[in-house]
Amino acid sequence: MARILIIDDDAALRTGLGEALGDLGHIAEEAANGEAGLQRLAHPPTIDGVLLDLRMPGLDGMEVLRRIRALPTPPPVAVLTAVATAANTIEAMRLGAVDHLTKPIGRAEIAALLPRLLPSGPALIRPQARSEDGDLVGASPAMRDVQKAIGLLADSDATVLITGETGTGKEVVARAIHRHGRRARKPFVAVNCAAIPAGLLESTLFGHVRGAFTGAVADARGSIREADGGTLFLDEIGDMDLAMQAKLLRVLQDRVVVPVGGKPVAVDVRVLAATHRDLAAEQRAGRFREDLYWRLGVVPLGLPPLRARPTDILPLAEHFLALTGGRPRAISAAASARLLAHSWPGNVRELRNAMERVAALARHDVIDADDFAFLHAPSPAEVPHETLPDAVARLETSLIRRALHAAGGNRADAARRLGIPRQALYDKLRRYGLDMSEIPTHPVGKSDI
């Protein structure tokens, strides 16, 4: 049951809306103007949502909305107006309204509005932005293996071939290898081989001298020499044509670059490459040189798709949500379940896009499942091959770990956050074999009684 404040100068409309809210199981309070509405919001009990008229004597709805949104903990607001215009619709949404509805408003419209006005379900911890490792977030076994490999490779000069589906974070891994290694103070230069026309790629990589070709009005060092002393990252190396592959092979073998129209120049550069293609298959099909394949793949590093590491989905979602800035947001349990159910064909890139979209459009402090309505429901082929109890156990384990982390290991506090009795939490800890030694110690001043 929620307490909803109706701010409108039309007494009949207030009465009608109040009756509709009562029929739907909520408590309605009324204010005849903006000043009265703001006064009510300043006193307990807490108002959970506001229905706000746009045109009123005295303070108009837009000014009231501004003042509500400036409160320390503003309730969600839906704006009502008899005359909707593009200008007042845009301004209301810009100021933070959950929705902008045109009068008259019936019971069915109120019922459809309430799920957006009043987030449901217990919230997870509010995300905190990570300051280390950029987007390299995740504690799944697969990502732990990747992180360990980065540590082993960071100080090496070995060429690394990073493979994985589009959007798995190949450049993020390449940057982490560079950032944690002895070349970190030197340049990191990234080149997307698929984005540069074949006729320009040689000049882009190797540089050229003035007059080497039409339009070469000055010397150009090229990406390889720009990365001298540091790291050259060749993204989508599988899209490079065979002629360029032969020239790149020479650089990898001899560490010498020949600018277009110029003379050989020695370089000290570490090369990291990445592709979403199966280079072994490309080599067998004659589209990729075998010698370059073996030269690039000195150390192969495969990145798992996001669907193969579901325990990383919620930490990544919270991380990306925190990176959007603005007021702190939390993710409800229902929204978490929706994220875990999605197959993420676009991998981490798709997840980041989804969180940025929600951050821009959602008006609540708690993001709910309805905010992810744009994520298509999984087809039967996309649903993980697991039983319903296994799926429930996976979700419960993830939520319990996050609640314990948020509570600093305090199980009583974690149970409150999860909305379950403390004994039920103890039972689940035993059932799922969760290791409390991995949970941070209790915050100062909190007990576990």
Confidence band for 267, pLDDT divided at 50, 70 and 90: very high
Lowest mean pLDDT among 339-343, 379-383, 415-419, 422-426: 379-383
% pLDDT > 70, the chain: 89
Q: How many angstroms separate the CA atoms of 344 and 372, rounded?
A: 13
Q: How far is CA 30 from CA 96, 113, 114, in A?
A: 21, 18, 17
Is 251 a domain residue? yes
Q: pLDDT tens for residues 49-104? A: 999 999 999 999 999 999 999 998 899 999 998 888 887 888 888 888 888 888 88
Identify the pLDDT of residue 125: 41
Q: Are 178 and 295 part of one and the same domain?
A: yes
Is 124 a domain residue? no
Is 220 a domain residue? yes
Is 130 a domain residue? no
Residue 147 pLDDT greater than 70, yes or no:
yes
- Report the CATH number at residue 41: 3.40.50.2300
User: Where in the sequence is the domain holding 434, given as residue range(s)?
Assistant: 308-438
Of the three residues 259, 274, 302, the one that is the final residue of a domain is 302
Residue 107 pLDDT greater than 60, yes or no:
yes
The pLDDT of 304-325, averaged and rounded, is 88
Q: Are 225 and 363 part of one and the same domain?
A: no
Identify the pLDDT of residue 381: 47
Residue 170 pLDDT greater than 50, yes or no:
yes
The pLDDT of 432-445, averaged and rounded, is 53
Task: Give the CA dihedral 10, 11, 15, 16, nearest 10 degrees.
Answer: -30
Residue 178 pLDDT greater than 90, yes or no:
yes
Say if CB 143 and CB 173 are below 8 A apart: no
Confidence band for 129, pLDDT divided at 50, 70 and 90: very low
Average pLDDT taken over every residue of the chain: 84
Alpha-carbon torsion (345, 348, 349, 355), positive or negative: positive
- Report the CATH number at residue 278: 3.40.50.300
- What would the DSSP string read from start to end of 163-178? E-STTS-HHHHHHHHH
Q: Are 387 and 428 part of one and the same domain?
A: yes
Q: Are 294 and 315 part of one and the same domain?
A: no
Residue 363 pLDDT greater than 80, yes or no:
no
Q: Are 256 and 328 part of one and the same domain?
A: no
Q: Are 113 and 191 part of one and the same domain?
A: no
The pLDDT of 134-145, averaged and rounded, is 76
Identify the pLDDT of residue 86: 82
Is 448 a domain residue? no
Q: Are 294 and 313 part of one and the same domain?
A: no
Of the three residues 91, 117, 143, the one that is the final residue of a domain is 117
Residue 422 pLDDT greater than 70, yes or no:
yes
Identify the pLDDT of residue 391: 67
* Three-state DSSP string of 342-383: CCCCCHHHHHHHHHHHHHHHCCCCEECHHHHCCCCCCCCCCC
Q: Are 38 and 64 part of one and the same domain?
A: yes
Residue 39 pLDDT greater than 70, yes or no:
yes
Identify the pLDDT of residue 356: 92
Confidence band for 132, pLDDT divided at 50, 70 and 90: very low
Q: Which of 119-133, 137-151, 348-362, 412-426 ranks highest by mean pLDDT?
A: 348-362
* CA Rg value for the chain: 28
Lowest mean pLDDT among 116-125, 169-178, 262-271: 116-125
Is 142 a domain residue? no
For the chain, how many structural domains are there in total?
3
Q: How many angstroms separate the CA atoms of 210 and 217, rounded?
A: 5
Q: Which of 18-27, 90-99, 421-430 ranks highest by mean pLDDT?
A: 18-27
- Pure H helices in 227-272: 242-254
Identify the pLDDT of residue 100: 87
Choice between 377 and 246, residue whose per-residue pLDDT is larger: 246
Q: Is 253 exposed, middle or buried (0-12, 13-18, 19+ CB in 10 A)?
A: exposed
Q: Are 251 and 323 part of one and the same domain?
A: no
- Report the CATH number at residue 350: 1.10.8.60
Is 147 a domain residue? no
Neighbours of 199 (CB within 10 A): 9
Is 443 a domain residue? no
Of the three residues 285, 302, 319, the one that is the final residue of a domain is 302
Choice between 317 and 122, residue whose per-residue pLDDT is larger: 317
Lowest mean pLDDT among 112-126, 210-224, 253-267, 292-306: 112-126
The pLDDT of 156-181, averaged and rounded, is 93
Q: Are 282 and 404 part of one and the same domain?
A: no
Confidence band for 388, pLDDT divided at 50, 70 and 90: low
The pLDDT of 140-159, averaged and rounded, is 87
Q: Are 297 and 318 part of one and the same domain?
A: no
Give the chain's length: 449
Q: Are 168 and 266 part of one and the same domain?
A: yes
Identify the pLDDT of residue 362: 82
Residue 287 pLDDT greater than 80, yes or no:
yes
